[in-house]
Amino acid sequence: MNNKTYPSICRLCTASCPVTVEFDGQTVTSAKGIKSGAPFHGFFCKRGQSLPDHIHHPDRLLYSLKRQPDGSFERIKVEIAIAEIAEKLNLLIANHGPNSIATYMGTFSGVYPLAAVFAQSWMAAIQSTMIFSSMTIDQPGKGVAANLLGRWLAGPQPFKGSDVCMLIGGNPLISYAAGNVPFQNPAKHLTSEIKAGMKLIVIDPRYTETARRAHIHLQPRPGEDASILAAIIHTIISEELTDSDFISANVAGFSHLKSVVAEFTPAYAATRADVPEQLINVCVRATCGL
Ligand code: SF4
């Protein structure tokens, strides 16, 4: 049988890496990254490489199952399953209200364009507000902080060409997502920017894969990264390293920020976080390009 190859994307996460899929009849024999072209440059992680196993794994579920009273599962026609589920949902809504029904959308839903839209429309139709996702469960602080403090409307600093990259609790070499490091082939992008002169600062209690490449690695006590950031802000303000024209034109609440970080001297933060005070000062100089 002739093998055929097709271009596609990996749908295992939102990076959507481009891939060449090889078929031998009905069987996927290999999936490989496509070497040409930025920003991926052939990146195709271990999870992606296991795609043929995902597709042809003997335990892969290809039809609906219903749990039986003894705990075992039996095959059920999809139209019967939907009718039974609808009956149970209607009962729940009638007895406990719409918010007794919740949905959860994880990373996989992100790469299927209709999944999230359909789920949100369905929740609106039954008037339930209980919509959860990998963001609301894993890292709700990001959304809460953005809503409390607002966003920098000019958008993020482009990673390429940055003088400094400071990662706080991020390990993009493994997670593929941290700060503004491109999640398509993070190792390659990090390496090329470091070669171009970018300074990498990592604040993380763990000596991570990314921390191993850092020019400065601060290992605070867990939970004390905010103290270090407050000390950096404190020092930048107290040494008048700020751009005062820019601040008066664009920033609200600057004096409040100054008072909030007033007690966070590098010495105080160093004690709280258990890091060398001198390294906090080095971070200040690096972030200010001094
Ligand atoms: S990062 Fe890995 S899992 Fe995600 S799309 Fe790319 S190859 Fe697939």
Task: Clarify whether residues 245 and 223 are in a common domain.
Answer: yes
- Residues 170 and 283 placed together within one structural domain of the fold: yes
51 CB within 6 A, ligand 1? no
Domain co-membership, 283 together with 216? yes
CA of 27 to the centre of ligand 1 (A): 21
Indicate if 184 and 273 belong to the same structural domain: yes
Range of the domain at 236: 164-287
pLDDT of residue 236 exceeding 90:
yes
For position 51, what pLDDT does the model report? 87
Q: What is the mean pLDDT of residues 150-179?
A: 87
Residue 52 lies in a domain: yes
Residue 43 CA, ligand 1 centroid: distance in Å: 8
Q: Which range among 110-114, 189-193, 244-248 shows the weakest confidence by mean pLDDT?
A: 110-114
Binding site membership of 13 for ligand 1 (Cβ less than 6 Å): yes
Q: Which ligand 1 atom minimizes the distance to the CA of 15?
A: 5
Atom number in ligand 1 closest to CA 40:
6
Q: What are the distances in angstroms from CA 39 to CA 44, 77, 171, 186?
A: 12, 44, 19, 10
Same domain, 115 and 168: no
pLDDT reported for residue 149? 82
Domain for residue 157, yes or no?
A: no
**Pick from 161, 179, 163: which is nearest to 171 by CA?**
179
* Over residues 94-104, mean pLDDT: 97
Band of pLDDT at residue 139, cut at 50, 70 and 90 = confident
Query: Residue 188: pLDDT above 80?
Result: yes
Q: Find the 187 Cα to ligand 1 centroid distance in Å.
A: 14
CB of residue 44 inside a 6 A radius of ligand 1: yes
Residue found by looking up tokens 């706080």 in the block? 168
Whether the pLDDT of residue 246 is over 80: the answer is yes
Q: Do both 47 and 96 map to the same domain?
A: no
Q: What is the pTM of this model?
A: 0.75
Residue 156 covered by a domain: no
Q: Is the same domain home to 168 and 282?
A: yes
Q: Which of 120, 136, 152 is the last residue of a domain?
A: 136
